[in-house]
Amino acid sequence: MKTNNNTVLITGGSSGIGATLAKRLSDLGNRVIVCARNEDRLAQIKSRIPSIQTKACDIQDLEQIEALKDDIGSEVNLLINNAGIVQELSLHANADLGAQIKEVDINLNGILRMLHVFLPLMQNHTTAAVVNVTSATAFIAESKAPIYSATKAAQHALTLALRHQLRDTQVKVFELIPPLTDTPMAAHVEGISKLSPDEVASAFIAGLEKDRYEIAPGLSRAARLMSRVAPRFAFSQLNK
């Protein structure tokens, strides 16, 4: 997949990995559009990276996604589904059901809405790709974040199926599998080594250029392997 001269749409790109991808891809000569719910954060990233465009859009709202499509849809040939939230909660301690369902709606249903709206248009391009940003927890569940882990596992399965369904089209399907990364989402996690967002972005760009469909930087590669050869041991080590 070429890494320049694309029109890139990144969901949840106002901070963390998404913001770093926006900067790196813009520097490579791509037109980059970042969408997120928080307009203040969008204004902040625009001030830091003047070359990008920003669009306010809530991926829980199909009408807002349709409006985004009407604005830029036919031009997008690289869609990066990065938006997501993580909550640490106990399922047996009367956790807020609404919060659990919201996490599923953003992390999984948000991707489904984006694909529903943008994928038909992307198939009109000679070069196109979908990138789903999952997590090492897609392979080894983190018990403190059960909904997040479940949605990331579902995203992984969805990515595999989508890649197979689109195998005879011009749309490539990638999965970026970050390990624990030094972002605001992981700021509360201490005592564990974290990759920088820039290291994740470098691995992504290298993998995209080489058509490496599963890009697993850092400890994600080991997590993916351990989940296959010693799943119980891997789970016990993560959830000590």
Q: What is the DSSP letter of 30?
A: -
Q: Quick check: is 148 catalytic? A: yes
The torsion defined by the Cα of 69, 75, 80 and 83, in degrees rounded to 10, comes to -30
Given 148, 149, 158, 163, which residue is catalytic? 148
- Measured from the Cβ of residue 210, the count of other Cβ atoms closer than 10 Å reads 10
Residue by residue, DSSP assigns 36-59 as ES-HHHHHHHHHH-TTSEEEE--T
pLDDT averaged over every residue in the chain = 93
In a domain, 2, yes or no: no
Report in angstroms the alpha-carbon separations of 234 from 173, 223, 229: 27, 7, 9
d(CA 90, CA 208): 37
d(CA 46, CA 177): 26
Check: CB of residue 86 under 8 Å from CB of residue 145.
yes
Residue 29 three-state SS:
coil
Provide the domain count of the chain.
1
Q: Could you report the per-residue pLDDT of 197-226, keeping only the tens digit for each?
A: 999 999 999 999 999 999 999 888 888 888
d(CA 43, CA 19): 12
Task: Specify the pLDDT at position 127.
Answer: 96
Which alpha helices (H) appear in 107-196, and where do they start and end? 110-122, 146-165
Helices and strands (H and E) in the chain: how many: 9, 7
Domain span at 156? 7-238
pLDDT reading at 102 higher than 60:
yes
Check: CB of residue 32 under 8 Å from CB of residue 8.
yes
Task: Specify the pLDDT at position 95.
Answer: 83
In a domain, 1, yes or no: no
Task: Specify the pLDDT at position 237.
Answer: 84
Q: Could you report the per-residue pLDDT of 33-73, keeping only the tens digit for each?
A: 999 999 999 999 999 999 999 999 999 999 999 999 999 98
d(CA 82, CA 179): 14
In a domain, 13, yes or no: yes
Nearest to 225 by CA among 131, 133, 136: 136
Q: Could you report the per-residue pLDDT of 76-92, keeping only the tens digit for each?
A: 999 999 999 999 999 98
Task: Specify the pLDDT at position 185.
Answer: 59
Amino acid at 145: A
CATH of the domain at 171: 3.40.50.720
pTM for the model stands at 0.94
